[in-house]
Structure 1
Amino acid sequence: MKRRTAREKALQALFQIDVSDAEPTAAIEHVLEEEQGDSYLSRLVNGTVEHKQEIDGLITRNLEKWSLERLAGVDRNLLRLGVFELKYCSEEVPANVVLDEAIEIAKLYGDDQSSKFINGVLSKVKQQLI
Structure 2
Amino acid sequence: MKRRTAREKALQALFQMNISGIEVKEAIANVLEEEQNDSFLQQLVEGTIQHLPQIDAEIQKHLENWTLDRLAKVDITILRMGMYELLFNEDVPENVAINEAIEIAKIFGDDHSGKFINGILSKAKEENERKRSGEEEDDSPFD
Over residues 89-127 of structure 1, what are the superposed CA-to-partner deviations in whole Å (9 max), with x where a residue is unaligned?
Answer: 12x111111111111100000000000000000001111
Q: Answer yes or no: is 1:30 the counterpart of 2:36.
A: no
TM-score under structure 2 length normalisation = 0.88
CA distance in 2 between partners of 1:73 and 1:126 (Å): 22
Higher RCO (Cα < 8 Å, 6 or more apart): 1
Specify the structure having the higher radius of gyration (Cα): 2
**SS state at 2:27 partner:** helix
CA distance in 2, matches of 1:99, 1:125: 10
Q: How does 1:51-130 map to 2 (within 5 A)?
A: 51-90=51-90, 92-130=91-129
Query: Following TM superposition, where does structure 1 have runs of at least 4 consecutive aligned residues deviating by more than 3 angstroms?
Result: none
**What fraction of aligned residue pairs are identical, expressed as a percent?**
58
How far 1:128 moved relative to its partner? 1.7
Q: CA deviation at 1:76?
A: 0.1
In structure 1, what residue type is equivalent to 2:37? G
User: What is the distance in 2 between the residues matched to 1:102 and 1:74?
Assistant: 11
Structure 2 residue runs of 5 or longer lacking an equivalent are: 130-143
Separation in structure 2 between the aligned mates of residue 53 and residue 73 of structure 1, nearest angstrom: 16
TM-score normalised over the length of structure 1: 0.97
Q: How many residue pairs were aligned?
A: 129
RMSD between aligned alpha carbons?
0.7
- The 3-state SS of whatever aligns with 2:35 is coil
